[in-house]
């Protein structure tokens, strides 16, 4: 199966997880680990950068659902950024834009966090 | 039979022995005159015959016990102690019991004669026993080729013994001496061949060394006190001069044998440890090769490997590292704490000193800065790569404590062993993988079975509607679900859904979905309301990262209307007059959010149906089917086929779509389930509603790729 990798960086209060490759049932645990680690560090302001993500399956979408409640309870949020059309379409079909804020770029997402 | 023969044989031997001994007694009582040659000749003949029979009898008894050399040596020692005691105390004791018996040796009365004969018989037995024991010792772990020497020795011992009888006059002394010298030479030759020593472990060698000194001293003492001038010697000479000589020769043999034995052991002791280790190594490897042919638990195997490593080398502790992705993971440790093993791993394998080794290597911890944080003072380390198919899978590592270091022999032993271990680990891992694969396949088979059972068996045939569907399961169950509901005479319901996730868990959620929709469709008519209720149930029961996309719709067969709601599912497509219309009313997937937000964002959409309208429902298995370039089949290809075949019946359309999808993605494995349902509205071909159900024939449900 195709490869998937993530990288995490911090910009002040906000943590950015950048995704690369194919996110599906088999690679989802990698992203889950990233979320668990950030939550353990009490970092709840998270931007997920989809710029290099080629594909996401329903199991991949499930990862965001698994952590969103806990993060919002702690006054944080997951904001999604830089999706290509195909990935956005998958999110859109499921109604994710109604549940998550989705931004054109990583910077816009970070800016949104700082406004508050 | 053999057993019975043996029994009879031993009985006969005993009987003959009894007769012989009895005749010895009688003979000695009847003939007091002891100066004729004839008397001595017959006397010795009797003694020799008795001795020979006695020896054979004892040989049989000893053979049955199948003794080890050390117990034979111990027996010799005990007999020597006995002889020693007899020599010291017999004269005094006998004198006490039978006044001044020792003065009557040369001229005994009846009682004295009886006692001396008995005394001599005891020595006859002892001598025979010693001879047999020496014979057993001699032949232990010897090959047959050396038999000649032993027999030659026996012959010359015998000749030396009777030579005095045959040639009593001093001028023939040289014959006597020649025999004696040859006997001694043969005794020495035979004593040198002590091959069993090598096979004894070091500890036993040391105790044998002590024992052999004691026995040697006893033999010398006994020999020195059995001359013709000593009481013991006198008694025996009187009994039979030849026997007295033979007895002395046997004692001589013993003295020589045990002095040789003493030195042999002495020279063996320095190498004993190495020999022990080699022996242990061989037996460990044998044990191990037996072990790996059995089905082994991986953990158990790893533990056995570390255990044997400490046995085949002088290592104090050992552990196994295996690569888990790119990191080393300790899978078994023997006599060492995990923390310590980890620290040593980091220092030697990760920091560069013994990094990337491909051959077994001796390393040391001299430059290890954190040495003080180890709980034991480890110093010398042997690292041996475990490989399979020329790829290094991990390392077998052994350490020694304190100032002790590993030598090249240890390295060789560990290296040899790690080759065995590599094979065993590889086998065990393959086995485990195949078991895991089998388990997964079984699980998936169960999941597919669940899915097959909850999907509709056939498409219904209903007036005003033609219905066709295709479902193609992916190898890993993808969670596609669809069903039809005959809500009322005029109303026909349909659901299509896709559960997130795969395999057995997806199959269980599907089963739950089936239950939910089956019951809701009976109670509620509005698609929006049904989906809202379904979301309400699923929000609480689904695991957080699971959700379900669904589309629920109802066709009013009377009014010719289709109304539906979409909860995150692929849109419904309408093909009318060669044109594609995609309906994608707003709606969030089931289980993603709370009732309020869900309901707020869920739209219900209504379509007035016209003659030959095609309604298409599908899952993303179609649009996301991939070719070898990872290109999606996509909406456009899908729409084009639908348009091309829009005037055909639904069966034909579904077949054409699937054919295209399969052709497109034939080089790429099907990753997700594929579901396609097509309804065609044709009021003109109106069948009478109720008959339709009865006439329905099973249709193509699934296609296998």
CATH code (residue A43) = 3.30.750.24
pLDDT digits (tens, 9 = 90+) for B159-187: 888 887 777 777 777 888 888 899 889 88
Burial track A23-55 (b if 16+ CB lie within 10 A, e otherwise): bbbbbbeebeebbeebbeeebbbbbbbbeebbb
Q: Tell whether B582 is covered by a domain.
A: yes
Chain A within 8 Å of B593 (Cβ-Cβ)? yes
Report chain B's mean pLDDT, rounded to a whole number: 84
In a domain, B385, yes or no: yes
User: Which of B568, B599, B668 should be substituted to probe chain A, the one whose Cβ sees the most A Cβ atoms within 10 Å?
Assistant: B568
> Would you call A95 and B547 a contact, using CB atoms and an 8 Å cutoff?
no
Say if A61 falls within a structural domain.
Answer: yes
User: Averaged over B238-257, what is the pLDDT?
Assistant: 88
Provide the edge-to-edge strand list for the sheet that holds B391-401: B327-334, B317-324, B391-401, B378-388, B361-364
Least confident of B140-144, B411-415, B459-463: B140-144
CA distances B11 to B57, B126, B269, Å, are 10, 21, 45
- What residues of A are in contact with residue B630 (Cβ under 8 Å)? 2, 54
Same domain, B339 and B270: no
**B576 within some domain:** yes
Residue B4 predicted with pLDDT over 70: no
Residue whose tokens read 């690369």: A20
Question: What distance in Å separates the CA atoms of residue B261 and residue B432, rounded to the nearest whole number?
Answer: 54
Cβ contact A4:A19 at 8 Å: yes
Q: Is the pLDDT of residue B402 over 50?
A: yes
Residue B316 and residue B258 share a domain: no
Please tell me whether residues B373 and B479 are part of one structural domain: no
Show residues of chain A in contact with B589, CB under 8 Å: 94-95
Please say if the pLDDT value at position B281 is more than 90.
Answer: no
| B332 and B256 share one domain | no
Residue range B187-208: mean pLDDT, rounded: 81
Taking CA–CA distances from B600, the nearest residue in chain A reads A98
Contacts of B360 (CB under 8 A, 6+ apart): B382, B383, B384, B385, B411, B414, B415, B418
Residue pLDDT, tens place only, B582-604 = 999 999 999 999 999 999 999 99
pLDDT attached to residue B695 = 36
> What is the average per-residue pLDDT within B491-498?
95
One domain, residues B136 and B226: yes
Binary contact (A62, B593; C-beta < 8 A): no
Is residue B676 located within the same domain as residue B643? yes
Angle separating helix axes B110-139 and B2-30, nearest 10 degrees:
140
Q: What is the pLDDT of residues B621-633, one digit of tens each?
A: 999 898 888 888 9
- Are B570 and A59 an interchain contact pair (Cβ–Cβ within 8 Å)? no
Q: Which segment of B57-71, B556-570, B609-623 scores lowest on mean pLDDT? A: B57-71
Residue A92 parent element (H or E): helix A85-93
User: What does the pLDDT look like over B17-44, one tens digit per residue?
Assistant: 888 888 887 877 776 556 677 777 888 8
Does A16 map to a domain? yes
B312 and B221 co-located in one domain: no
Q: How far does A24 lie from chain B, in Å, by closest CA? A: 9
Question: In this predicted structure, what is the pLDDT of residue B296?
Answer: 63
Is the predicted pLDDT of residue A38 greater than 90, yes or no? yes
Contact across the interface for A99 and B549, Cβ inside 8 Å: no
Residues in B touching A98 (Cβ below 8 Å): 586, 588, 593, 597, 601
Cβ B266 vs Cβ B209: under 8 Å:
yes
* Number of separate domains in chain A: 1
The whole-number pLDDT of residue B234 equals 82
Evaluate whether residue A44 is within a structural domain: yes
Q: Closest Cα to residue B341, out of B406, B401, B399, B415?
A: B399
Which residue range(s) make up the domain with B655? Answer: 456-695
Question: What percent of chain B is predicted at pLDDT more than 70?
Answer: 91
Instruction: Give the pLDDT band (50/70/90) at residue B144.
Output: low
Which residues of B are less than 8 Å from A62 in CB distance?
500-501, 544-547
pLDDT at position B90: 82
Kindly state the average pLDDT of the residues B133-137.
86
| B124 and B177 co-located in one domain | yes
Can you list the pairs that B576-580 forms with residues at least 24 positions away whose Cβ atoms lie under 8 Å? B576/B610, B576/B612, B576/B613, B576/B614, B578/B643, B578/B646, B579/B643, B580/B639, B580/B642, B580/B643
Backbone angles phi, psi at B378, to 5 degrees: -85, 145
How would residue B134 be classed by pLDDT, with cut points 50, 70 and 90?
confident
Domains contained in chain B, number: 3
pLDDT at B703 over 50: no
> Is residue B269 domain-resident?
yes
Q: Using a CB-CB distance cutoff of 8 angstroms, which residues of chain B are in contact with residue A71?
A: none
The pLDDT confidence band at residue B494, using thresholds 50, 70 and 90, is very high
Tell me if B450 sits within 8 A of B508, measured CB to CB: yes
H-helix or E-strand containing B283? helix B241-292
CA dist B140 and B138 (Å) reads 6
pLDDT tens digit sequence for B209-227: 899 999 999 999 988 888 7
Tokens describing residue B541: 């029961």
Pick the residue from chain B with its C-alpha nearest to A95.
B588
Order across the sheet with B613-618: list the strands: B465-472, B674-681, B613-618, B572-576, B579-583
A12 is in which domain, residue-wise? 4-108
Q: Is the per-residue pLDDT at B194 higher than 80?
A: no
- A89: nearest CA partner in chain B: B570
Query: Does a structural domain hold residue A34?
Result: yes
Which CATH number do you get for residue B491?
3.60.40.10
Asked if B380 and B520 sit in the same domain, the reply is: no
For residues B143 and B6, state if they share a domain.
Answer: yes
CATH classification at residue B340: 3.30.450.40
Q: Which chain B residue has its CA at the smallest distance from A69's CA?
A: B544
Residue A78 lies in a domain: yes
Residue pair B172/B162 in contact (Cβ under 8 Å)? The answer is no
**Minimal C-alpha gap between B569 and chain A (Å):** 6
Domain match, B267 and B352 both = no
Q: Supply the pLDDT for residue B688.
A: 45
Give residue B7's pLDDT: 63
User: Is the pLDDT confidence value at B492 over 80?
Assistant: yes
Tokens 């002395």 sit at which residue?
A: B248
Residues in Cβ contact with A22 at an 8 Å cutoff, skipping those fewer than 6 apart:
A1, A2, A3, A4, A53, A54, A55, A56
Chain A CB within 8 Å of residue B535 CB = no
């Amino acid at each position: 199966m195709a490869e998937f990798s993530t990288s995490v960086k911090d910009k002040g209060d906000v943590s950015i997880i950048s995704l690369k490759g194919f996110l599906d049932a088999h690679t989802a645990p990698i992203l889950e680990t990233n979320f668990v680690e950030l939550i353990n560090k009490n970092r709840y302001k998270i931007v997920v950068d989809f710029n290099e993500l080629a594909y996401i399956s329903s199991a991949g979408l499930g990862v965001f659902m698994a952590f969103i409640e806990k993060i919002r309870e702690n006054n944080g949020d997951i904001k999604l950024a830089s999706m290509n059309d195909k990935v956005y379409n998958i999110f859109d079909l499921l109604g994710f834009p109604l549940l998550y804020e989705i931004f054109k770029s990583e910077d816009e997402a970070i800016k949104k966090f700082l406004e508050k | 039979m053999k057993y019975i023969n043996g029994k009879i044989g031993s009985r006969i031997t005993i009987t003959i022995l009894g007769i012989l001994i009895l005749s010895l007694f009688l003979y000695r009582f009847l003939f007091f005159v002891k100066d004729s040659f004839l008397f001595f000749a017959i006397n010795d003949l009797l003694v020799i015959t008795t001795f020979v029979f006695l020896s054979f009898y004892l040989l049989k008894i000893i053979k049955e016990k199948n003794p080890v050399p050390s117990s034979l040596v111990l027996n010799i020692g005990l007999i020597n102690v006995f002889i020693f005691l007899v020599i010291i105390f017999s004269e005094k004791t006998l004198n006490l019991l039978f006044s001044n018996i020792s003065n009557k040796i040369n001229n005994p009365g009846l009682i004295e004669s009886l006692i001396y004969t008995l005394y001599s018989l005891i020595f006859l037995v002892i001598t025979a026993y010693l001879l047999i024991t020496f014979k057993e010792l001699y032949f232990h772990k010897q090959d047959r080729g050396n038999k000649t020497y032993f027999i030659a020795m026996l012959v010359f011992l015998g000749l030396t013994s009777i030579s005095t009888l045959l040639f009593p006059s001093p001028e023939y002394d040289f014959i006597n001496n020649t025999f004696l010298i040859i006997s001694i030479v043969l005794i020495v030759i035979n004593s040198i061949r002590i091959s069993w020593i090598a096979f004894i472990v070091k500890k036993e060698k040391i105790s044998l060394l002590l024992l052999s000194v004691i026995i040697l001293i006893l033999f010398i003492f006994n020999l020195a006190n059995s001359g013709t001038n000593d009481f013991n010697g006198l008694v025996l000479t009187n009994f039979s001069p030849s026997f007295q000589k033979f007895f002395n020769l046997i004692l001589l043999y013993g003295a020589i044998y045990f002095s040789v034995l003493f030195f042999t052991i002495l020279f063996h002791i320095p190498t004993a440890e190495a020999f022990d280790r080699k022996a242990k190594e061989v037996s460990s490897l044998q044990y191990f090769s037996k072990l790996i042919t059995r089905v082994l638990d991986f953990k158990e195997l790893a533990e056995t490997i570390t255990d044997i490593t400490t046995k085949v080398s002088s290592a104090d502790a050992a552990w196994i590292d295996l690569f888990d992705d790119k990191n080393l993971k300790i899978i078994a440790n023997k006599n060492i704490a995990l923390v310590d093993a980890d620290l040593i791993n980091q220092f030697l394998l990760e920091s560069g000193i013994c990094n990337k080794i491909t051959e077994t290597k001796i390393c040391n911890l001299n430059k290890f800065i954190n040495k003080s944080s180890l709980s034991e003072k480890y110093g010398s380390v042997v690292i041996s790569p475990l490989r399979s198919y020329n790829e290094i899978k991990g390392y077998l590592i052994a350490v020694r404590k304190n100032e002790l270091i590993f030598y090249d022999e240890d390295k060789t032993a560990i290296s040899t062993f790690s080759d065995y271990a590599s094979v065993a680990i590889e086998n065990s891992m393959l086995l485990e993988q195949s078991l895991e694969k089998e388990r997964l396949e079984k699980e998936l088979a169960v999941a597919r079975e669940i899915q097959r059972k909850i999907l509709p068996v056939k498409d219904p045939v209903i007036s005003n509607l033609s219905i066709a569907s295709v479902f193609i399961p992916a190898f890993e169950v993808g969670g596609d679900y669809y069903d039809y509901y005959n809500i009322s005479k005029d109303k026909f319901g349909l659901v299509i859904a896709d559960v997130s996730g795969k395999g057995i868990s997806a199959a269980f959620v599907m089963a739950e979905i089936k239950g939910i929709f089956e019951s809701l469709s009976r109670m509620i008519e509005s698609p929006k309301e049904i989906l809202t209720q379904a979301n309400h149930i699923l929000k609480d029961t689904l695991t957080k990262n699971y959700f379900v996309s669904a589309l629920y719709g109802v066709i009013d067969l009377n009014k010719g209307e289709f109304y539906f709601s979409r909860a995150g599912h692929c849109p419904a497509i309408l093909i009318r007059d060669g044109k594609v219309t995609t309906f994608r009313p707003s709606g969030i997937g089931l289980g993603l959010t709370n009732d309020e937000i869900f309901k707020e964002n869920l739209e219900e959409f209504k379509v007035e149906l016209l003659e030959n309208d095609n309604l298409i429902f599908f899952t993303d298995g179609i649009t996301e089917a991939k070719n070898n370039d990872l290109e999606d089949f996509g909406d456009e290809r899908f729409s084009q086929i639908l348009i091309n075949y829009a005037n055909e019946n639904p069966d034909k359309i579904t077949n054409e779509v699937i054919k295209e999808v399969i052709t497109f993605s034939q080089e790429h494995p099907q990753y997700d389930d594929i579901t396609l349902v097509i309804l065609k509205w044709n009021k003109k071909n109106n069948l009478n509603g109720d008959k339709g159900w009865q006439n329905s024939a099973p249709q193509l449900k699934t296609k296998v790729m």
